[in-house]
Structure 1
Amino acid sequence: MKRKFIYNIEPSDENKTIKTFLVGGGRISLTCLKKIKFADDGILLNGNRVFVTAKLTSGDKLEINIADDAESTVIPVNGDLNILYEDEDILAIDKPPYMPVHPSKGHPEDSLANIVMAYYEKSGVNSPFRCVTRLDKNTSGVVIIAKNSVSHDSLRKQLIAGTVIKKYHALVHGITDESGTVNAPIIRPDEATIKRVISENGAHAITHYKTLHTQNDLSFIEVTPETGRTHQIRLHMSHIGHPLCGDFLYGTENDGFKRQMLHASQITFIHPTSKTIVTIKSKNDRWLYE
């Protein structure tokens, strides 16, 4: 299956080469351009095949067709998906807790990827599983999946640039300040463990939070990570004395909660093709109370 992209050239793009317009404008990657330029219908300008060095004129119609021939090794398994949003480029899922995003040795057929691949088969989508915003198995909430290589490249670049805004809800021990910021570098000290620690030699990491509600020495907070380090929210909240409830790795082993009480509640990004700002919100914060 091919994904078609059509661009109507504006005066601001007059005299740009096709390569500059597509790659320099962040519309597709250089790797993708190298692949499609050899296809018969890979790049068409006003219906004609052209070189990537061809210059654009205002009013031109540029069409690119990208075949997604990447293969998937994920086993399709039927299951329920709580779909928050879907179009030709993006699939947004409300992931329940206790479900891993990717298959593993211990979870070969019960991951989100397995269910999405079965959904793709039924929907006629020819794409491997490309998760953009992955969550820990026990963390619930919004997961963004790219349905083609172009949208995947675009969203990954936004993540690296730090322009994707992610918000989480969490239940933590203790009474937190009204709001606060944790600025503490994170490092993985040993490849044999998944646990991270705070270290001056670690990667830059910043987390903002504000308190929404407090009760019985517990705080319900909204968290906005400025960076995206592994276990960042869990480690940062533990670092300031407010570990997540149910977090056996960074908190207390037996606090009465079955899993870390963390939920990806909202994500905002620029749509890969329409370039509009998209905000997707979870509808299942109730999982924090189950």
Structure 2
Amino acid sequence: MNTEQKYFSLVAENEFFVIINKLNNVNFHSEDGEYGVVVALEKRLKRKLYSVHRLDKMTSGLLILAKSSIVANDLSILFKTQQIEKYYLAISDKKPKKKQGLIKGGMEKSRRSMWKLTPSKENLAITQFFSFPLSEGKRLFVVKPKTGKTHQIRVALKSISSAICGDHIYADKDNQYDRGYLHAYGIAFNLYGHDYRFSCLPETGTLFLQTVFLAQLDSIGDVRQLSWPKV
């Protein structure tokens, strides 16, 4: 298995940045003698890269890496000032308390590696979402995080009783799923006067590859055009 098959597939590249589709169950940073996805990509391109955001190990999807510290700083500012639109796909087998809307609360450390939502405005996390029916009691969630907190989407969906399938921290520990079903699907931003927009489908996961999932996603169309709840 070559580097791209094991860690990522290349989505786009220009003079400023590289965008990849990170595979699930791949660390962001190198750990326990195993390359992280950043090092794997640097070795593939034979150049230094600069991270501006990250994805959890279980999460697949779009990841931007800058080609210089200057570009990294400019992209980081866009992330911090919420000028980058991010869209995620998730699947849950639990019925949500509400089928669409806004999830807002303070993020606070809980037990072990967990986080939780609180009524506080400290470390505020804001998440917009829609959900759509799939088969066998499962639902597809299209999620637009306004902020970018650790475990934000995982905690948000858990808070409405719809923990993500295969999430070993926030979902039931039944090990029936082949991966954590969270995928960074779309991203849009303006850099140096140019509008960029990228999307990529998940490459792995039985539920993500099923016809019912792909058909539902196709029927939704452009996720940017959904009537997103006002923040």
- In the alignment, does 2:105 pair up with 1:184? yes
Q: What is residue 43 of structure 1 aligned with on the other side?
A: none
Match of 2:113 among 183, 194, 207: 194
RMSD: 1.9
1:119-139 deviation line (CA, Å, top 9, x unaligned): 232xxx4x2x31222111111
Q: Distance in 2 between matches of 1:263 and 1:215?
A: 19
Q: For 1:209, what is the secondary structure of its paired residue? A: strand
The gaps in structure 2 that reach 5 residues or longer are: 210-231
Q: What is residue 289 of structure 1 aligned with on the other side?
A: 208
Q: What is residue 12 of structure 2 aligned with on the other side?
A: 85
1:67-116 deviation line (CA, Å, top 9, x unaligned): xxxxxxxxxxx711411110011100001111111112x2x333212211
Q: What is residue 112 of structure 1 aligned with on the other side?
A: 37
Contact 2:88 2:144 in 1 (8 A): yes
> Measured at CA, do residues 253 and 174 of structure 1 come closer, stay the same or move farther in structure 2, by a change above 3 Å?
same
Q: How many residues align?
A: 202
> Measured at CA, do residues 285 and 223 of structure 1 come closer, stay the same or move farther in structure 2, by a change above 3 Å?
farther
Q: Distance in 1 between matches of 2:175 and 2:24?
A: 18
The letter for the 2-side match of 1:224 is K
**C-alpha displacement of 1:173:** 2.3
Q: Distance in 2 between matches of 1:203 and 1:83?
A: 33
Match of 2:139 among 219, 225, 247: 219
Q: Distance in 1 between matches of 2:116 and 2:94?
A: 21
Q: Distance in 1 between matches of 2:9 and 2:159?
A: 34
**C-alpha displacement of 1:250:** 1.1
Contact 1:263 1:285 in 2 (8 A): no
1:180-205 deviation line (CA, Å, top 9, x unaligned): 21112111257xx4311222344111
Share of identical aligned residues, percent?
Answer: 24
Q: For 1:109, what is the secondary structure of its paired residue? A: coil
Q: What is residue 5 of structure 1 aligned with on the other side?
A: none
- In the alignment, does 2:188 pair up with 1:268? yes
Q: Distance in 2 between matches of 1:160 and 1:216?
A: 39
The letter for the 1-side match of 2:119 is E
The gaps in structure 1 that reach 5 residues or longer are: 1-77
Q: Distance in 2 between matches of 1:151 and 1:212?
A: 37
Q: Which one has more relative contact order, counting CA pairs under 8 Å at least 6 apart?
A: 2
Contact 1:268 1:277 in 2 (8 A): yes
1:1-16 pair list within 5 angstroms = none
Q: Between Structure 1 and Structure 2, whose CA radius of gyration is higher?
A: 1
Q: Distance in 2 between matches of 1:207 and 1:189?
A: 19
Q: Distance in 2 between matches of 1:284 and 1:248?
A: 19
Contact 1:101 1:137 in 2 (8 A): yes
Match of 1:238 among 130, 149, 158: 158
Q: What is residue 25 of structure 1 aligned with on the other side?
A: none
Q: What is residue 151 of structure 1 aligned with on the other side?
A: 71
The letter for the 2-side match of 1:181 is L
Q: What is residue 280 of structure 1 aligned with on the other side?
A: 198
User: Scaled by the length of structure 1, what TM-score is found?
Assistant: 0.65
